[in-house]
Every structure is written in C-alpha cells, then in structure tokens.
Amino acid sequence: METKESYAVVTGASQGLGKAFAESLAKKKINVILISLPNQNLEALSLEIAEIYDVKTQYYEVDLSINENIFKLTEWLNNSFNIHILINNAGLGGTRKFLDATPHYINTILQVNITATSLITHQLLPNLLSQPKAYILNVSSMAAFSPIGFKTVYPASKTFIHSFSRGLHEELKDTNVFVSVVNPGAMKTNIDVCKRIEKQGFLGKLTLLDPNKVARYCIDRLFKRDSVIMVNPISWLFMKVLPIWIKLPLMTNAIKKEIEA
C-alpha cells in the first residue's frame, strides 16, 4: 500500500478512550489509522467510522508488548502514509499485590506503557517532522503524580510518560511537531471498570470520567497547543494540594478496597 495520504494514528483504539479519540478525529474529517490488539473487532470499528464520518480509515492488529512488532508496525506506517497526528493511548493498568504479580505481568505493563510509547514516537518522528504541521499526544494519568500501593508499576510507568512528554515538548518546541500530554483519571470504559472503580468508595466515584468527553476536550486542547492537558480539576487539585504522606496512604487504601471487594 503506497497511499501517502495524511492520517492520524491512534493506539489502543478498539475501545474506551482510544476509540473515542478515533471518533473525535473522524468527526473533524481527519483520516485515522486504528491500532489495537488482535481479536478486538478492529476491522468492524474501522469500517463503521469510515462509513459514519465519511473519512478514510485503516487498521492494524498488533501486540505492542513485543518490540519486533513495533518496528514492523512503524515501518508499515512510514512506508504507506503521511502521519500528522500520533496519539499514544495504548496502556495497561492492573491492580494486585506486587508479590502476587508475575514477571510477565510486570514486564508487559512496562513494555506497553513505556517502551512501546517511546519506540513508536521515535520511529514515526521523522514522518511527523516532514509534515507541514504535526501533533503528538501521549496519554499519561493522574496516577503519574503519586505512587500507589497495590498498583506500584502502573503509576511509575505513567510518571515516565509525563516526564518523557514534557522533555520531548521542550526539545521539539522550535519545530513543526507539537507535543502534549494528558493526565486523565479513571474512565467509564465498560461496566466492569465502572464497578471496579466504584468499589474504591467515594473517591473512585468522584473521579470517574466519560471517555467521549475526555477525547473531545483533549483534541480541542491539543489543537490549541496546550502542552499539559488536565481533564478533571477535582483530581488535579487533590494531587496538587495534598502532601505525599497523606495522598499515598489515602489512595492505597482506596485501591485496597477494590482488591478486597
């Protein structure tokens, strides 16, 4: 395929915030390439978006926890398309005692959240730099601003994403590529996630977000060149005001309730 048409790339696009990003871009008549794991009905979603919003869509099913797959993906993207928007949304969370976590569980979170985001950005950056105007949006988390017991690896990985994005933004500020990072909280991606978050108690219910609203807001702020996007002022105020010795046990206890439930 040698189309060389301009597209936006969205990883983790089969559901939740990634799907909402793809639809929000398509509403703006931007062609989209959906990236997600196999067996996620990605082809059907790609066709649906193309039909509803009258844009061109492509899709690619891949496990981003394997580095070789990332290089195959980015080679295909660079050889076939002009990429003017990259949204690194794919990420893994999880809640369990660190002692109970398997090496595979730990490694997969680090590979998808940190390595895949870094390598995809690195491999697509020359393509982005060759466009008249381009954007990178990395999805971090409110968890980036505090360690959390029973999650341990996930908040640390999102701290990396936030720092990586801010550094890259500064490095590329005099180029045509604008880099932004969003730090959302928990989202109503499906019924199971909503039930799990609500088991955390009042704090969990208070911070649940609608992914469609988050996506629309993020795309708007990205095009307005907002380098750090905050979508939940309550969570942000909570993270900024409370000292670590208060918020760390508070958030850890909320997560512990989720495990016990």
* Active-site residue, selected from the candidate residues 53, 59, 60, 154: 154
Span 207-249, pLDDT tens digits:
678 899 999 999 999 999 999 999 987 777 777 788 888 888 8
| Environment class of 186 (CB within 10 Å of its CB; exposed 0-12, middle 13-18, buried 19+) | buried
Distance CA 95, CA 202 (A): 18
The sign of the torsion formed by the CA atoms of 15, 20, 26, 30 equals: negative
CATH code linked to domain 6-193+208-232: 3.40.50.720
Banded model confidence at residue 198, pLDDT cuts 50, 70, 90: low
Residue length, the chain? Answer: 261
Buried b (16+ CB within 10 A) or exposed e, 55-72: bbbbbbbbebbeeeebee
Distance CA 204, CA 103 (A): 28
Under the banding of pLDDT at 50, 70 and 90, the label for residue 100 is very high
The answer on pLDDT for 256 being more than 90 is no
Mean pLDDT of the chain: 90
pLDDT of 3 > 60? The answer is no
Among positive and negative, which fits the CA dihedral 141, 144, 147, 153?
A: positive
The residue among 31, 115, 104 whose CA lies nearest residue 68 is: 115
- Name all contacts of 186-194 with Cβ < 8 Å and 24+ positions apart: 187/16, 187/17, 187/211, 187/214, 189/15, 189/16, 189/17, 190/15, 190/16
Which of 76-85, 180-189, 196-205 bottoms out in mean pLDDT, i.e. has the lowest? 196-205
Q: Where are the alpha helices (DSSP H) in the chain?
A: 16-27, 42-53, 67-80, 103-110, 117-129, 153-171, 191-198, 202-207, 211-223, 233-241, 244-260
Using pLDDT thresholds of 50, 70 and 90, give the confidence band for residue 203. Answer: low
**Rg (alpha carbons) of the chain, rounded to whole number:** 18
Which tens digit of pLDDT belongs to each residue from 138-175? 999 988 888 899 999 999 999 999 999 999 999 999 99
Q: Is 53 assigned a catalytic role?
A: no
Q: From CA 163, how far away is CA 141, in angstroms rounded? A: 12
Question: Please, which residues have CB within 8 angstroms of residue 72's CB and are 6 or more apart in sequence?
Answer: 62
- The share of the chain scoring above pLDDT 70, in percent, equals 90
Which residues, listed in sequence order, are joined to residue 139 by a DSSP beta bridge?
Answer: 182
pLDDT at res. 252 = 85
| pLDDT tens readout for residues 107-122 | 999 999 999 999 999 9
The predicted-structure confidence for 4-54, as pLDDT tens digits, reads as follows: 689 999 999 999 999 999 999 999 999 999 999 999 999 999 999 999 999
3-state class (DSSP) for residue 102: coil
